[in-house]
Amino acid sequence: MQELLEEIRNSLKEKGYKITQPREKVLDIIIKNQYKHLTSDEIYVLIKKDYPKIGISTVYRTMQLLERINIVCKFDSDEEGIRYELMEPNDKYQHPHLICKNCNKVYPVKDINLEQIKNKIDKNFNLKIIDYSLKFYGICKNCSKL
């Protein structure tokens, strides 16, 4: 975890961004919850417990910055709004997500490369895609047992 945090810090510094205390707190929460898909509001609530000075707008701006420099990726989970996911070092592209309609748990599907599909659409339809996402909805094993 510490190694990942250091890698992200270095990436921010290389791109000319300062490592402020609020950014550090946001990164800490994202890394501690790296297998969850949190909203900015959820990140804010988790940080506020230990760092009450932080404002919600700071969290929103930090998440926008982290997305812009490919440290996190976002996707719209419809009912719950924009969620963020920490990009792993080898992640270069967005990937599909499976979403349980009952408990709203999100499962990333990392072995499908949407970039290939995007490039094919770019080429075949002469359309410059600027954003994309692919979501599958269903009922997870835990919920189907209920």
Separation in Å, CA 84 to CA 9, 70, 114: 18, 11, 18
Domains of the chain with bracketed CATH: 1-88 (1.10.10.10), 93-146 (3.30.1490.190)
Give pTM, 2 decimals. Answer: 0.76
pLDDT along the chain (146 residues), means of 10: 86 93 95 89 96 96 93 80 80 77 84 81 86 85 88
| Token duo for residue 120 | 């094919």
Residues facing residue 108 across a β-bridge: 97
- State the amino acid at position 17 in one-letter form: Y
Going by the annotation, the residues of the binding site for Zn(2+) are 100, 103, 140, 143
Residue pair 67/81 in contact by the 8 Å Cβ criterion = no
Which parts are annotated binding residues? 100, 103, 115, 140, 143
Strands 82-86 and 72-76: antiparallel
Which residue is listed with tokens 């408990």? 103
Compute the distance between CA of residue 2 and CA of residue 27 in angstroms, rounded to an integer: 11
End-to-end CA distance of the chain: 35
